[in-house]
């Protein structure tokens, strides 16, 4: 019931997943195992004049029925709620609106989007100034609660009855992993017997697409969306923005065992290391990502050789995949374990990625199947890794998976997930 450092072991008892492939854990996972791409042409808004016109998107049911496009915070909240519900149902814990622990919510920063700006300007008789917007925004509690950073967390905390103050956090592309780490620490600390960890992102809106595009981070392979995300492949040229959410129900193994819950796996290690090199690039020596990987493995009480598979950060930018390769070779030496990137199928779900990929890592152990890295046509000689090209692979005896998340701003978090004891 305790780990090698005398801390309570942290069990996963519920998993919920929303991806562009499906609303739901098993359907999303089945599609990932089948190597199916969830990337498509953006239909949510006009894409004329955009350099990148593709993304992974998750439509809300009312949008699919022709309703107005939801704002990012609303999309985040809805996907988060769906993922939490699925996870609670599987865990059979806290399903009645009273969950016995806190909510750790990884999500993107949110702000007014253009539909809100246009609406206020119209109400101000065509005056788009902030001063005029203030004149007509008074009393708009809806805008206030939707776009304040604490809004989504408060709404979810009320709905699911989590304890204490919900904690919303961002560490860029490592956000989902950070949320899991926060939940693990809370349980190890004895602050709670259980916690919900969540990562969610729904940022495919014009300004966000343009901003990532201006940073030259996105691929513009618009002609064949399903082939655009090419992590570790020679012709990779950027990531594909995407949306989704994943929730984990975490509890001390003792708590899970005492109530007879099915343990899906153990969140056995968390490691982090920040980088001080550059706002969007890793230090070329890779020490921060190497440090994060090593810290996670050590935190789990394991040696690198115990790790049987790595769920890559694998964004498909030339830089990331090169640095991740460097990190893999530094940590694992001449015989690194297989590594594959879920992002080849679902794109880069940004704040959700760390949580979705940790969830898929648990399912990888459950099914003893490594999901593939699709679109692997031309190997990159600089990527000296087994990336499980194109087709999923059955394995046996896989007990420990390392899941990597490396963020803009140098925020790197790695997790080790392990089979149930």
Residues known to be catalytic: 173, 313, 348
Considering only the stretches 87-95, 329-337, 366-374, 406-414, report the one whose residues sit in contact with other proteins under the rule CB under 8 A: 406-414
Query: From the CB of residue 406, how many other CB atoms can be counted at a distance below 10 Å?
Result: 30
Alpha helices in 283-379 (DSSP H): 287-299, 318-332, 343-346, 353-367
Q: Which of residues 182-201 bind other proteins (CB under 8 A)?
A: 182, 185, 188-191
* H/E stretch holding 267: strand 265-274
User: Per the structure block, which two tokens stand in for 79?
Assistant: 């996907």
Which x/- pattern over 260-299 shows residues binding other proteins (rule: CB under 8 A)? ------------xxxxxxxxx-------x-----------
Q: Which of residues 135-164 bind other proteins (CB under 8 A)?
A: 137-141, 143-145, 147-150, 153-154, 157-158, 164
Residues near 218 by beta carbon (within 8 Å), at least 6 away in sequence? 51, 52, 209, 212, 238, 239, 240, 241
- Which CB atom, from 61 or from 126, has the smaller least distance to other proteins? 126
Q: Which of residues 37-76 bind other proteins (CB under 8 A)?
A: 45-51
The DSSP output letter for 390 is S
Which one of residues 165, 224, 258, 382 is an interface residue with other proteins (CB under 8 A)? 165
Residues forming beta bridges with residue 17, ordered by sequence position: 246
Is there binding between residue 220 and other proteins (CB under 8 A)?
A: no
User: Per the structure block, which two tokens stand in for 262?
Assistant: 């099915």
- Which CB atom, from 189 or from 305, has the smaller least distance to other proteins? 189
Is there binding between residue 240 and other proteins (CB under 8 A)?
A: no
Residues forming beta bridges with residue 339, ordered by sequence position: 310
Length of the chain: 421
Is there binding between residue 131 and other proteins (CB under 8 A)?
A: yes
- Which CB atom, from 101 or from 407, has the smaller least distance to other proteins? 407
Cβ–Cβ < 8 Å for 180, 271: no
Residue 148 C-beta: closest distance to other proteins, Å: 6
Residue 47 C-beta: closest distance to other proteins, Å: 7
Is there binding between residue 117 and other proteins (CB under 8 A)?
A: yes
User: Per the structure block, which two tokens stand in for 256?
Assistant: 């899970």
């Amino acid at each position: 019931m305790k780990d090698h450092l005398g801390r309570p072991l942290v069990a996963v008892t519920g998993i919920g997943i929303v991806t562009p492939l499906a609303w739901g854990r098993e359907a999303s996972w089945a599609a990932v195992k089948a190597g199916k791409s969830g990337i498509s042409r953006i239909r949510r808004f006009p894409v004329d004049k955009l350099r990148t016109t593709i993304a992974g998107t998750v439509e809300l049911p009312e949008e699919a029925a022709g309703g107005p496009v939801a704002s990012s915070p609303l999309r985040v909240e809805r996907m988060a709620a769906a993922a939490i519900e699925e996870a609670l149902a599987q865990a059979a814990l806290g399903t009645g609106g009273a969950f016995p622990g806190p909510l750790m919510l990884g999500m993107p920063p949110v702000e007014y989007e253009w539909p809100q700006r246009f609406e206020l300007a119209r109400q101000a008789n065509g005056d788009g100034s902030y001063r005029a917007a203030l004149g007509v925004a008074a009393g708009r509690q809806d805008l206030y609660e939707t776009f304040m950073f604490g809004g989504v967390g408060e709404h979810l905390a009320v709905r699911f009855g989590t304890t204490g103050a919900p904690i919303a956090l961002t560490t860029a592309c490592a956000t989902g992993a950070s949320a899991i780490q926060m939940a693990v620490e809370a349980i190890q600390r004895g602050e709670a017997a259980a916690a919900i960890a969540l990562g969610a992102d729904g940022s495919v809106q014009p300004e966000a697409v343009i901003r990532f595009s201006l940073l030259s981070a996105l691929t513009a392979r618009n002609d064949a969306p399903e082939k655009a995300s090419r992590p570790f492949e020679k012709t990779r040229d950027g990531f594909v923005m995407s949306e989704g959410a994943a929730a984990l129900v975490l509890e001390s193994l003792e708590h899970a065992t005492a109530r007879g819950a099915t343990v899906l796996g153990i969140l056995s290690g968390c490691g982090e290391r920040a980088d001080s090199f550059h706002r969007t690039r890793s230090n070329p020596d890779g020490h921060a990502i190497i440090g994060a990987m090593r810290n996670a493995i050590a935190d789990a009480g394991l040696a690198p050789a115990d790790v049987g598979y790595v769920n890559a950060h694998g964004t498909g930018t030339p830089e990331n995949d090169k640095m991740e390769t460097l990190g893999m070779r530094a940590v694992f030496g001449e015989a690194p374990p297989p590594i594959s990137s879920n992002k080849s199928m679902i794109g880069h779900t940004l704040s959700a990625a760390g949580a979705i990929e940790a969830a898929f890592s648990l399912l990888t152990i459950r099914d003893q199947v490594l999901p593939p890295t699709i679109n692997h046509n031309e190997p990159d000689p600089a990527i000296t890794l087994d990336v499980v090209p194109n087709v999923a692979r059955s394995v046996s005896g896989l007990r420990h998976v390392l899941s990597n998340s490396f963020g803009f701003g140098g925020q790197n978090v790695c997790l080790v997930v392990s089979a149930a004891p």
